[in-house]
Amino acid sequence: MELGLVGLGKMGGNMRERIRRAGHTVIGFDHNPDLADVHSLEELVGRLTGPRVVWIMVPAGAATQSTIDALGELLSPGDVVVDGGNSRWTDDEKHARELAEKGVGFVDCGVSGGVWGLENGYAIMYGGDAADVAKVQPVFDALKPEGEFGAVHAGRVGAGHFAKMVHNGIEYAMMQAFAEGWELLEAADSVTDVREVFRSWQEGTVIRSWLLDLAVRALDDDEHLTALRGYAQDSGEGRWTVEAALDHAVPLPAITASLFARFSSRQDDSPAMKMIAALRNQFGGHAVTAATGAEKGADAPGADVEPPVGG
């Protein structure tokens, strides 16, 4: 099939390549001309044959809204817009209503996989009407990991981003647990090789996981994380998860505590936050702040799905 893709940053660019490897045609647009296949949204839409599917991978908020507004003027009834960024689920409902007035369908899609998605595939959670989802299904199949799992039609419009939001909230709590355990091991005089303790957990334990593997990888790069400042950003999704818990009267003590722990990193050079920062850099390519205060690992400016979000 043909796909228009808007936003070719860390994730968008790799997604374009994975979809192409599956045999589909992808026409990409980005404000960075070095990344783009076309010079404008108008040219992108003009290159596609109907019914068109345009997938946007730009930052949540104003950038997403302006892109959807522009596409609403360019697309035709029967076309579909997919928002694969990290938009709030309540924005999805608004975007779907606006596009429906023009006869254009809307699908929201939470995407997880970070910088590893090109080779490993992306976990995708999408919401929308079945007819609209069907028009995008070949792309979902191309992006998902090999095997039975990794993709889900989560429900109505907004369900995909809501599911991804909860995923990121769980991710917060898991990273915080690893970080706190690492800090305690580092503080104990009797433990002489914390990195190898973490490595030993990779087999045979109930906490073995990809996050644990990434923690070991980070410690292999910098055994005591001395090159990092203990500062970690929090994503909009972490805050939205806690807000949704309040709205639904659902207790989230671990996820809420992990969000507030991120705030503590704004106040001092937290050792646990060094591990959080290292893990975010490992799985998502997110920029880290060196112990000297300089930022490392940031991508060049351009549209991207996750500045500064994890997951």
The CATH number linked to 82 is: 3.40.50.720
In a domain, 116, yes or no: yes
**Residue 298 maps to a domain:** no
Asked if the model's pLDDT at residue 306 lies above 60, the reply is no
Given this model, what pLDDT does residue 289 score? 77
Asked if residue 300 belongs to a domain, the reply is no
The verdict on 59 and 147 lying in the same domain is: yes
Instruction: Give me the domain span that covers residue 222.
Output: 164-291
Arithmetic mean of pLDDT, 42-68: 96
Across all residues in the chain, what is the average pLDDT? 91
Query: Is 54 in contact with 81 (CB distance < 8 Å)?
Result: yes
Identify whether residues 113 and 151 lie together within a single domain. Answer: yes
In which band, very low, low, confident or very high, does the pLDDT at 309 lie, cut at 50, 70 and 90? very low
Residue-wise pLDDT for 6-48, tens only, equals: 999 989 999 999 999 999 999 999 999 999 999 999 999 999 9
For the residues 74-81, what does the mean pLDDT come to?
98
> Is there a single domain that holds both residue 11 and residue 150?
yes
Q: Is the pLDDT of residue 232 over 60?
A: yes
Q: What pTM was computed for the model?
A: 0.83
pLDDT at 299 over 60: no
**β-pair partners for 106:** 81
Q: What pLDDT, on a 0 to 100 scale, did the predictor assign at position 164?
A: 96
Phi-psi region of 102 (alpha: psi -120 to 50; beta: other; left: phi over 0): alpha
Per-residue pLDDT of 254-294, as tens digits, reads 999 999 988 877 766 777 888 888 998 898 888 777 776 66
Q: What per-residue confidence (pLDDT) applies to 298?
A: 46
Residue 139 lies in a domain: yes
Q: Which of 157, 172, 189 is the last residue of a domain?
A: 157
pLDDT at 297 over 80: no
Tell me, yes or no, whether 172 and 287 share the same domain.
yes
- State mean pLDDT over 232-245: 87
Q: Are both 135 and 256 inside the same structural domain?
A: no
Statement: residue 307 has pLDDT above 80: no
Provide the pLDDT for residue 102. 97
Residue closest to 261 by CA, chosen among 218, 294, 292, 231: 231
Residues 149 and 174 in one domain: no
Per-residue DSSP letters for 239-280? HHHHHHHHHHT---HHHHHHHHHHHHTTTS--HHHHHHHHHH
Q: Residue 300 — very low, low, confident or very high, per pLDDT cuts 50/70/90?
A: very low
Give the separation between CA 165 and CA 239, rounded to whole angstroms. Answer: 9
Q: Write down the pLDDT at residue 4.
A: 98
Are 218 and 279 in contact by the 8 Å Cβ rule? The answer is yes
Q: State the catalytic residues.
A: 164
CATH code assigned at 205: 1.10.1040.10
**Does 194 lie in the same domain as 261?**
yes
Cα–chain-centroid distance for residue 173? 16
* Shared domain check, 217 and 88: no
Are residues 183 and 153 located together in one domain of the fold? no
> What does the pLDDT look like over 193-225, one tens digit per residue?
999 999 999 999 999 999 999 999 999 999 999
Kindly state whether residues 78 and 183 are assigned to the same domain. Answer: no
Q: 198 with 80, same domain? A: no
Residue 127 shares a structural domain with residue 192: no
Q: Is residue 301 pLDDT above 60, yes or no?
A: no
Total count of domains within the chain: 2
Q: How far apart are CA 228 and CA 63, in angstroms?
A: 31
Q: Is the pLDDT of residue 302 over 90?
A: no
Asked if residue 267 belongs to a domain, the reply is: yes
Domain endpoint, select from 157, 189, 214: 157
Compute how many other C-beta atoms are within 10 angstroms of the C-beta atom of residue 5: 26
Residue 58 in domain: yes
- CA-wise closest residue to 118 among 257, 258, 20: 20
- The b-or-e profile of 80-106 (16+ CB within 10 A means b, else e) is bbbbbbbbbbebbbbbbebbeeeebbb
The confidence score (pLDDT) of residue 294 equals 63
List the Cα angle 97/101/106 in 5-degree steps: 50
Domain boundary among 157, 184, 216: 157
263 inside domain: yes
In a domain, 259, yes or no: yes
Q: What are the pLDDT digits (tens) for 139-167?
A: 999 999 999 999 999 999 999 999 999 99
